[in-house]
Amino acid sequence: MDFVLSGAAACGACLFTNPLEVVKTRMQLQGELKSRGTYQVYYRNVFHAFYTIGKVDGVAGLQKGLVAGLVYQFCMNGVRLGSYAVIESSGYIHTDGRVSGAKTTLAGALAGVVGAVMGSPIYLGMVHALAAIHKEHGILGLWRGSSAAVPRVSVGSAAQLSTFSASKELVIDLQVFARDSWLVALTAGMISSVVVVLAMTPFDVVSTRLYNQPVDHLGKGQLYKGFADCFSKTLKKEGLTGLYKGLGASYFRLGPHTILSLFFWDELRKLYQQNR
């Protein structure tokens, strides 16, 4: 049930944040491997990207990939949050009754690795796309780009879940809200969202580029050999700002998604426990 509730929470968040994912991806791919000032800027900022995509592709363009997004969220975050919930319920993340920073970070990273591996094929597309990839590149082709997904999701998961657990405990200790108030999870999610975006954006940029790069007939990327190669090339060509390209869009997408998914996750788990 932990996995089902986790997947449902992630899907609920996805309904609200998918347009932000579209904007973020477009901005991260803009000017790929080109120095600043040498390429045409189609999207000046998050709001301009929203306006441009809506004008060119219509409102429906902002919800492109929604079905695939929902499937991915249910599989990846269902497994990731569900795994963490199992670890948490076993009492592993606590030391002497208090949340352990080291244990929550390790548990979050482990849950992230499992979620990333399970969700990587879904990230490439839906059934027809998966069938085509499998036919052309074999079963391992379904995990193309997972070398970026695993570090990206494990780092993000470690930052998100450790911060969320610690923040919940802190808010309760300070007695800002009642222990069972929904505002506890909401506040902890807000704190977690900032940490997640700062930790995850460079990995997100690299992951997006690895998944979107063209491949040859053997399924090998034509721009990057792997995570380290993409990271170093982006840093060399575009500087540190290249790794944080689309930071505003990243927060507008990852921030609300972190807040909503963690909030829905916490509330659904409490509701389930109350009605067992």
- Structure token digits, residue 115: 């979620």
Decide if 260 contacts 12 (C-beta within 8 A): yes
pLDDT at 80: 95
pLDDT at 148: 62
C-alpha of 231 from chain center: 18
Judge residue 90's burial from the number of C-beta atoms within 10 Å of its C-beta, 0-12 exposed, 13-18 middle, 19 or more buried: exposed
- Structure token digits, residue 139: 């079963």
Long-range CB contact pairs, 30-35, < 8 A, 24+: 30/245, 30/246, 31/238, 31/245, 32/209, 32/223, 33/223, 33/233, 33/234, 33/237, 33/238, 34/237, 34/238, 35/237, 35/238
pLDDT at 219: 72
Angle between helices 2-29 and 182-212 (to 10 degrees): 50
CA distance 223 to 231: 12
Predicted confidence pLDDT, tens digits, the chain (276 residues):
899 999 999 999 998 888 888 888 888 788 877 877 778 888 888 889 889 998 998 888 888 888 888 988 998 999 999 999 999 999 899 988 899 999 999 999 999 999 988 877 776 665 556 666 667 667 666 666 566 677 878 999 999 999 999 999 999 999 989 988 999 999 999 999 999 999 989 988 887 888 788 887 777 788 888 888 999 999 999 998 889 988 887 787 789 999 999 999 999 999 998 887
CA distance 110 to 73: 17
- Structure token digits, residue 187: 């506040």
CA distance 84 to 111: 6
pLDDT at 142: 64
Q: What is the DSSP string of 169-215?
A: HHHHHHTSS-TT-HHHHHHHHHHHHHHHHHHHHHHHHHHHHHHHS-B
- Structure token digits, residue 92: 């592993």
pLDDT at 100: 93
- Structure token digits, residue 152: 């990206």
CB neighbours of residue 102 within 10 Å: 10
